[in-house]
Amino acid sequence: MAPVEEHKASVVDLFCGIGGLTHGFVKEGFKVVAGIDDDPTCKYAFEKNNGATFIRNDIDLVKPEDVIRLYPKDDVKILVGCAPCQPFSRYTNRKSEDGKWKLLASFSRLIRGVRPDIVSMENVPELEKHCVFSDFLKVLDDEHYHVSYSLVDCVAYGVPQTRTRLVLFASLLGNVRIMPKTHGPSRYRTVRDAIGHLEPIKAGEQSASDSLHKSSTLSGLNLKRIAATPPGGGWKDWPDELILDCHKKESGKSYPSVYGRIRWDDPGPTITTQCHGLGNGRFGHPEQNRAISLREAALLQTFPRYYKLAEPRSDIVITSVARHVGNAVPVRLGRIIARSIKKHMEAHSL
């Protein structure tokens, strides 16, 4: 299989964050020329790990000509991105006036103006139900793209978490399909596979050898709660005196996963921006009485151990790094998307 560089293809990543999707393309041999995001705190990790330029800008303000200038002349133009998904997620209840809803429209505006040869977009499955997605598809149809999209079970592609994502491809050349699944149920990667090798730490501690292997501090009451939580269990397993008043109400019973503990030999939960917090989901360590560390969250998101997430000698802000990791496209999924595009290009002799 010829290196992608020989085909003169270049990638621009919109809403790039710290570069999970970008790194998947880099690992598959693509040349990523730039990532664009409005969060300046993502710049270090994106540039340090990917050899690409981070451009801080609001996607709403980016002009098509600005993007066109990023691509070397005569290269196959690939435009990828994951518009912030919180407005579409089942974990939120935002109204359509939320400014982030229009970011998908900005993505389609740039597609119209740039006319990339190939487009890929990743987002939450709930997006499929919203009119903004229908509008996005209409733009692609009007611009004569061949479009395919599917709901992708990430665990079937080697990501050690129960994460389902909508993955879309559009190409001016022909149909692009996501590659066949790489992992059957007997080969699913588990939490043990991903993080079982890490040294034990306590709640609020940081490893002396790995500054990212750091977990949030827990109150005395929450230490009792996690100690009372079996693997795969949650607050329903606690004695009555440990249960929060809100969970005793009928409305609280619809949140069975909060304060949950992960199982070693299953895929992990979907990693979110709140993955550092015990009360924010099933983020309790399988056997240690704490929430998962930043390193563990990054490994479950398939960031390689070498991936630099914070500047050397800087203070690690747990909430900031957790937000970056939770917002990222898993690197392994990025590789699958890139590999699918590579096969498409080869089929068209590019």
Render each residue's pLDDT in the chain as its tens digit; 350 residues. 556 655 689 999 999 999 999 999 999 999 999 999 999 999 999 999 999 999 999 999 999 999 999 999 999 999 999 988 655 455 444 444 455 567 899 999 999 999 999 999 999 999 999 999 999 999 999 999 999 999 999 999 999 999 999 999 999 999 999 999 999 999 999 999 999 999 999 999 999 999 999 999 999 999 999 999 999 999 999 999 999 878 776 555 555 678 999 999 999 999 999 999 999 999 999 999 999 999 999 999 999 999 999 998 888 899 999 999 999 999 999 999 999 999 999 999 88
| Domain spans in the chain, listed from the N-terminal domain onward | 4-184+330-347, 191-327
Q: Write down the CATH number for the domain with range 191-327.
A: 3.90.120.10
| Reported pTM | 0.93
pLDDT value at position 94? 47
Residue with tokens 């061949």, as numbered in its chain: 146
Phi/psi class of residue 174: alpha, beta or left (left: φ > 0; alpha: ψ in -120 to 50)?
left
Residues 127/133, Cβ–Cβ less than 8 Å: yes
Identical fold, 4-184+330-347 and 191-327: no
pLDDT value at position 186? 96
C-alpha span between 178 and 201 (Å, rounded): 39
Distance between first and last Cα of the chain = 12
pLDDT value at position 265? 98
C-alpha span between 96 and 9 (Å, rounded): 36
Helix axes 331-347, 20-27, angle to 10 degrees: 50
The single-letter DSSP state of residue 115 is -
> Residue 321's closest CA among 255, 256, 252, 273?
273
The CA–CA distances, whole Å, from 48 to 51, 198, 214, 325 equal: 6, 24, 21, 15
Six-digit token string for 64: 């098509």
What is the DSSP pairing of strand 164-171 with strand 118-123? antiparallel
Residue tagged active-site, from 16, 42, 82, 85: 85
Question: Residue 85 catalytic?
Answer: yes
DSSP H stretches of helix in 1-57: 20-27, 43-50
Residues 140/147, Cβ–Cβ less than 8 Å: yes
Residues 350/179, Cβ–Cβ less than 8 Å: no
List residues bridging with 35 in a β-sheet.
13, 54
> Residue 85's closest CA among 73, 98, 76?
98
Q: Is the dihedral of CA 248, 251, 256, 258 positive or negative?
A: negative
Residue 213 burial class via C-beta count within 10 angstroms: exposed 0-12, middle 13-18, buried 19 and up: buried
Neighbouring C-beta atoms of residue 57, cutoff 10 Å: 13
CA atoms within 13 A on the CB side of 97: 0
Six-digit token string for 271: 């990693």
Q: Which CATH number fits domain 4-184+330-347: 1.10.40.30, 2.60.40.10, 3.40.50.150, 3.40.50.800?
A: 3.40.50.150
3-state class (DSSP) for residue 80: strand
Helix axes 43-50, 20-27, angle to 10 degrees: 0
Residue with tokens 């790489």, as numbered in its chain: 182
> Residue 169's closest CA among 113, 103, 121, 109?
121
The single-letter DSSP state of residue 98 is S
Please give the torsion angle defined by the CA atoms of residues 295, 298, 300 and 303, in that order, rounded to the nearest 10 degrees: -120
The amino acid that residue 86 corresponds to is: Q
List residues bridging with 146 in a β-sheet.
171
C-alpha span between 337 and 315 (Å, rounded): 34
pLDDT value at position 29? 96
The amino acid that residue 186 corresponds to is: S
